[in-house]
Amino acid sequence: MSTQSSNEWERREALLDRVLDLPESERADFLRQLQRSHPEDAAEVREWLSAIQNSEGRWAPSTTPMAAIESGESIGNWRLLRLLGRGGMGEVWLGDRTPIAG
């Protein structure tokens, strides 16, 4: 991707927003018109749109429930002592590292 000025970036971002707001059945016509009037913008918007479409579902939250973890359980060579906190990304535990027998 080439270096873009702030104005180019903002214009192309606005164009991408317009495309995303359109019903899918109207997007191809919009992009064809954009290609005729502003081919460089159209190429960039198509690239961004493709990246968005290829990544859909990758960042969606898991629908698989997490197994409950209890104090005293071991994960690898860590023994979980107590839950410190819970949030949107998971849980934080205080743990004690146990030596690996070998």
**Segment 6-51, tens digit of pLDDT:** 899 999 999 999 999 999 999 999 999 999 999 999 999 999 999 9
Q: In this structure, are 76 and 49 located in the same domain?
A: no
How many domains are contained in the chain?
2
Q: Assess if residue 1 is contained within a domain.
A: no
Q: In this structure, are 79 and 97 located in the same domain?
A: yes
Domain with 86 in it? 62-102
Q: Assess if residue 85 is contained within a domain.
A: yes
Q: In this structure, are 14 and 51 located in the same domain?
A: yes
Q: Please give the structure tokens belonging to residue 75.
A: 């994960």
- Our CA angle for 64, 83, 92, nearest 5°, is 65
Q: Assess if residue 89 is contained within a domain.
A: yes
Q: In this structure, are 10 and 50 located in the same domain?
A: yes
Residues 72 and 80: beta-carbon distance below 8 Å? yes
Higher per-residue pLDDT: 21 or 63: 21
